[in-house]
Amino acid sequence: MDPRRRTAVALTLLLARAVYAYNWYDVGGVLPLIGTQFSIGTIPRGIVLASFLAGAATFQLPAGIAAMRWGNRATSLAALGAMGAFALASAASPNWIVLALLRFGAGAGAAFFFAPALGLVTTYYPSGQRGFMIGAYNAAFSVGAGVGLFASAYLGPEVGWAPTIALGGLLLLAVALIALPLVPATPNEPRVPRGEVRRAAGPVVRSRALWALAIGGGGMWGGFYIAAQYFVDFAHSVHPSWSLALAAAAPTVMIAVEVAGGPIGGWFGERSRDMRRPIVLWGIATAAILAVVPFLGLVPGVLVFVPLGFADGVVFALLYLVPVYLPEVQGGVLAFGLALENFVQIMIGAALAFAFALVASGAGYDWAWLFAAASTLAFLPALLWARPQRGFGHPRGST
């Protein structure tokens, strides 16, 4: 592909990724308003958040299989439309149960976008340039998530939670229409015939390195999600004098800093002798930050979210970069491999997010944040299960 055309296509996918992310986090900014309208407590609000994750996790593997069969382009663009439709319908929910079910549907649409779109991005760039682009892909998520969280916290009290969520759905449908004529299929994109899907998926499912990454990053996935989604609700409960927009400042800062952490982490990680080391180091730092969150005021609370955001960007750039260099996750099965990794991490993260709500409801937010810190650390040792993973700068690959 001509470099200028490739850049235009990549920017279109990054825009889609950002709008997609808006629809992950817009509910977090208006969660107290939803709780007030439907007269629900912490646990039902936690179910509303977790239902989206449940949908995203449940359909990760079907999304990977769909990408094997019909290609990354068709799968990812159809996903934008489906996610947008469910997000728009969520705004008309008459009660929290219907809202949770529709958020499950939006999560299912999100599952069909993530891995196929990432697989599409990586096929446009050669080795040595993929780390930066994977980091940029995650940075686009951070941009959209930050806008979604802060904008929803600001717009929600002004126009209501339903129009705020509806805006996300409309933006998704619009970007799907924009991407349809602009994003081409990869020439000679490998497809897997229906009868060979199981055989092609076998080596991916048996990949020790992939499972180590998936499990080892699961605690961090949950920790970052909790910090981004629950801080507004936590601050609103513990510091009632803070407005929703003010409470959203800390996670918004975190998400904004991810924009730098993703490309930087991806570029250096691709040239690292062992990409597991920075994941572990930043994972330990993440746990330490989460442990002190409930004991900080507004200003120091915002400041500690700066390194937390950088850690988020670095860690997930590396977690999604490593599979690109695994020999068993190549060609037509790359999207399936990424989907498997994301499936495991989302399942762990969803369970931890719901457990966080249970702990907060029963023992208080202080213990809940300590739980988030401990669970972030608990899964890191799984990374030892994989051999050192080298990047492009060390072309022998895994050792």
Kindly list the domain boundaries of the chain, sorted by start residue: 3-182+207-385
φ and ψ of 266, to 5 deg: -65, -45
Highest mean pLDDT among 45-49, 183-187, 243-247: 45-49
Please write down the HEC assignment for all residues of 9-35.
HHHHHHHHHHHHHHHHHHHHHHHHHHH
What confidence tier does 391 reach under pLDDT thresholds 50, 70, 90? very low
> Following DSSP, what letter does each residue of 64-75 receive, concatenated?
HHHHHHH-HHHH
Q: Which of 183, 160, 49 is nearest to 113 (CA)?
A: 183
Tallying the residues shown for the chain, one arrives at 399
Cα→Cα distances 18→22, 92, 137, 222, Å: 6, 24, 9, 20
- Going by pLDDT thresholds of 50, 70 and 90, the confidence category of residue 128 is low
Residue 197, number of CB atoms within 10 A of its CB = 17
369 or 225: which carries more pLDDT confidence? 369
pLDDT above 90: residue 37: no
> Quick one: tokens of 97?
């149960």
CA triple 210-214-215, angle to 5 deg = 120
DSSP string, 132-170: HHHHHHHHHHHHHHHHHHHHHHHHHHHH-HHHHHHHHHH
Place of tokens 């670095």: 314
Residue 285 CA to residue 69 CA, distance in Å, equals 41
Nearest-10 crossing angle of helices 42-58, 96-123: 40
Phi first, then psi: give them for residue 386, nearest 5 degrees.
Answer: -95, 150
More confident residue, 235 or 240: 235
Compute CA 29 distance to the chain's CA centroid, rounded to the nearest angstrom.
17
At 60, the pLDDT band (50, 70, 90 cuts) reads: confident
pLDDT-wise least confident of 285-294, 317-326, 363-372: 317-326
Q: What is the tens place of the pLDDT at every residue in 76-99?
A: 899 999 999 999 999 999 999 999
Inform me whether the pLDDT recorded for 245 exceeds 80: no
Q: How far, in Å, CA of 234 to CA of 250, rounded?
A: 12
**pLDDT top residue among 56 and 386:** 56
Pick 218 or 398 by higher pLDDT.
218
Share of the chain above pLDDT 70, in %: 86
**Residue 105: pLDDT over 90:** yes
Instruction: Give pLDDT, residue 104.
Output: 94
pLDDT band at 54 (very low <50, low <70, confident <90, very high): confident
In which band, very low, low, confident or very high, does the pLDDT at 394 lie, cut at 50, 70 and 90? very low
Q: What is the mean pLDDT of residues 381-394?
A: 64
C-alpha atoms less than 13 angstroms from C-alpha of 104 in its C-beta half-sphere? 11
Give 8's pLDDT tier (boundaries 50, 70, 90).
confident
pLDDT of residue 192: 63
CA–chain centroid gap for 397, Å, is 26
Nearest CA to 105 out of 161, 59, 47 is that of: 59
Angstrom distance (rounded) from CA 255 to CA 15: 16
pLDDT band for position 173 (cuts 50, 70, 90): very high
Question: Architecture of domain 3-182+207-385 in CATH?
Answer: Up-down Bundle (1.20)
Average pLDDT on 137-153 reads 80
Check residue 255 and give its pLDDT. Answer: 74
